[in-house]
Chain A
Amino acid sequence: MTVNDGSLVALVALGAFHGLNPGMGWLFAVARGLQERSRAPVLQSLPAIAAGHAASVFVVAAVVTLTGSVLTSRIVAIGGGVLLVGFGLWRLLSSRHFRWVGMRLTLWQLAGWSFLMSSAHGAGLMLLPVLTHGAVTVPGHSHGMASGAGSAVMAAVFVTGVHTLAMFVVAGTIAVLVYEVVGLAILRRAWFNLDRVWAAALIGAGAATLLITA
């Protein structure tokens, strides 16, 4: 596979964007710390949240890269792009929100929460333009199916890793800053409606995928 600079920047930027969103987990980490009045739960929660996010992204990345042979890549890109625009529109227009009851979670459950939260918001889908164009080229002629599949999985792992690392660093930094220094009063002023920006990003990513393909 090849990764150009532009798509690497996009991967990191999207990771940072996901990390920034309080709904994607840093706020949960802070809440767990405040509930126990200890920093340790904040720090322990972050890897679990990142793991759930990574799993959600990896599922999409693996599906796209595995199906993304020369023959099918156009179809995947176009189908995925349309799906993404539709999903983004739904996110933009729907007033439904993620439903979850329960605050006392084990770290495994927290990772599961993060997986569902990320999946419900289409975190992995947002990477579609990068997955279909920038990051992944699996030559169809040189090797057999096995090595093709292998390099596709490697590509998915790479994309997931870079994206999640950026997400983890941003979410972790914010969580620790808010817990230690800033305090939660900031939420009232600075919790912008990222869901709308998020929906716009989904639509943009879908449109970009379609445009590049066409």
Chain B
Amino acid sequence: MALWRPDPTFYPSPREAVNAAPETLAYIAAFDRSAERPDAIAVVDVDPASTSYGSVVGWTDLPHTGDELHHFGWNACSSALCPNAPHPHVERRYLIVPGLRSSRVYVIDVKDDPVKPSIVKVIEPDELAKRAGYSRPHTVHCGPDALYVSALGGANGADGPGGIALLDHTSFEVLGRWEADRGPQHLAYDFWWHITQDVMVTSEWGTPSMIEDGVNAELLLGRKYGHALHFWDLRKRRHVQTVDLGDEHQMVLELRPAHDPTKTYGFAGVVVSVEDLSASVWVWYREDDEFKARKVITIPAEPAGPGDLPPVIAPFGAVPPLVTDIDLSVDDRYLYVSCWGTGELKRYDVSDPFNPVEAGSVRIGGITRRTPHPAAPDLPLAGGPQMVEVSRDGRRVYVTNSLYGAWDDQFYPDGVGAWAAKLDSGADFTFDERFFPHGDDFRGLRPHQTRLQGGDASSDSYCYP
């Protein structure tokens, strides 16, 4: 039902969004690696004044098994205020939740009972394949005209090309394939945009066969995983430019453009360099009408004895940091960088995006370190900080520990476990010792992306500075 005034969670500009009230609930996608039990959305109480603060207070089980929930997004966000296609009286109430392995997409209503959301629609893989020619849906962003969903695979799991499908804002039906001309683009993963500049940016991971059975050393050393950024005309749906970061930089994953719509830069994380196992963060920018990218952060591998390493990296004698997620605060000041391999979450001051300055770091988990959480100092933790989500005001940062089923098993063969943690981000950058849902709290499921009630740093696009 349409509202009389704009949804209060919509903000015209990032400047105003940072004044949003703190979230009280977080939604975490959680999946069963064995595919025997249904995946679920876990609802976590994040209201510090609540007695159940820091615990899972609700579950929504999916009707199927083997979906492998991963990333998800909202049906509507601040882009509804954009002047070219305004529709500000819709509600932010549905989570659009793709199953990365099953290719199903769930629409989940969080309004009627926010701690027990209900499934209102299931888009079957067949519909995604027939209408858009895609499978393995991943990132969801709310656009001005439709919902945009990236997908790694071609129809019915075909090995590409991956791309972007459009979903209707209200009926959630698959409208079709977004690309009018994809040019040389074949690999897909994440996408986002400079919405007021009609620029789309997409990144590259791999096709279904390259990822679903784990990282393939032959492909990795053969430099076959994605290593480029693609820039598109958002309006004409045409590929404009490829920026190759160099084929040693394998797996270009998360894209975090500046929230300020007058700025034309953003950050991209690269998982690993096959030359020295380092990870890197790149900034893209436009100069003389061309997009360029520059490496601005390099995080080196940490030496380790082969006996301490899982088989997948034992020959290298070092732990790669594996930057698998990055997140940019709404005020564009701090960039958070997950090092899932070494078990570190770094905070950089990126006020000058070309010269990031490290402004804090915490350790938790890690392939060899197994750093415990301060709330349970005797409990060594597997997995590392992986998906990062930042509150709109920038003061709270949430992390979960699972990367992707098959890859978890390779890098943490004795079990990746399950945990979530929260950092307080102010002058200091420290763990909140009251917030540590872990182990059985997740019922044996592995937690992946977190979405915060009302929106977060990676959910909304703004049309006004």
A interface residues (Cβ-Cβ under 8 A, vs B): 22-23, 25, 27-28, 30-31, 34-35, 37, 95-104, 113, 184-185, 187-189, 191-193, 195-196
A31–B463 CB distance below 8 A:
yes
Judge whether B3 is part of the interface by a CB distance below 8 angstroms: yes
Closest to B145 in A: A99
- Check if B198 sits within 8 Å of A103, measured CB to CB: yes
In the complex, which residues of chain B have a beta carbon less than 8 angstroms from the beta carbon of A99? 85, 144-146
Shortest Cβ distance from A187 into chain B, in angstroms?
5
Closest to A102 in B: B235
- Give Cα A113 to B235, complex, Å: 13
**Chain B residues whose CB sits within 8 angstroms of the CB of A196 once the complex forms:** 2, 4
- B8 at interface by CB-CB < 8 Å: yes
Distance in angstroms from A119 CB to nearest chain B CB is 15
Of residues 133 through 151 on chain B, the ones whose CB sits less than 8 Å from some CB of chain A are 143-146
Size band of the B side of the interface?
A: 35 or more
Are A102 and B2 also in contact (CB < 8 A) when A34-B464, A188-B8, A193-B89 are?
no
CB distance from B165 to the nearest CB of A (A): 15
The contact sample of 9 A-B pairs, CB cut-off 8 A, is A31-B196, A97-B86, A101-B143, A101-B145, A102-B234, A103-B83, A103-B84, A187-B88, A189-B5
- By secondary structure, the B interface counts as loop
Q: Which residues of B contact A188 (CB under 8 A)?
A: 5-6, 8, 10-12, 16
B83–A97 contact, CB under 8 A?
no
Q: Is the CB of B197 within 8 A of A185?
A: no
Taking the complex as formed, is B183 at the interface, i.e. its CB lies under 8 A from any CB of chain A?
Answer: no
B87 neighbours in A (Cβ, 8 Å): 97-98
Interface residue from B16, B83, B84, B464 paired with A101 (Cβ < 8 Å):
B84
| Chain B nearest Cβ from A188, distance in angstroms | 6
B355: A residues at CB distance < 8 A: none
B195 at the A interface (CB under 8 A): yes
CB–CB A31/B83 < 8 A: yes
Q: Which residues of B are at the interface with A, using a C-beta cutoff of 8 A?
A: 2-6, 8, 10-13, 16, 81-90, 143-146, 169-170, 195-198, 234-235, 261-262, 463-465
Least Cβ–Cβ distance between A48 and chain B, in angstroms: 13
A-B interface pairs (CB < 8 A), number: 103
Chain A residues whose CB sits within 8 angstroms of the CB of B10 once the complex forms:
188
In the assembled complex, the CB of A23 is this many whole angstroms from the nearest CB of chain B, namely 5
User: A34 contacts which of B2, B11, B465 (Cβ < 8 Å)?
Assistant: B465
Residues of chain B contacted by A97 (CB below 8 angstroms): 85-87, 90, 169
Which of the residues A27, A37, A113, A191 comes within 8 Å of B5, measured between beta carbons?
A191
Other A-B pairs, 8, CB within 8 Å; known A97-B169, A98-B85, A103-B84: A31-B196, A31-B463, A34-B262, A100-B85, A101-B234, A102-B198, A185-B16, A191-B6
- A113-B84, A188-B11 in contact; A103/B6 too (CB < 8 A)? no
In this complex, what residue of A is CB-closest to B236? A102
Q: Tell me the bound Cα distance from A189 to B7 in angstroms.
A: 10
Q: What CA separation (Å) do A131 and B232 show in the bound complex? A: 46
**In the complex, what residue of chain A is closest to B170 when comparing beta carbons?**
A95
A187 and B12 contacting across the interface, CB-CB below 8 Å: yes
Residues A22 and B86 in contact in the complex (CB < 8 Å), given A31-B463, A103-B463: yes
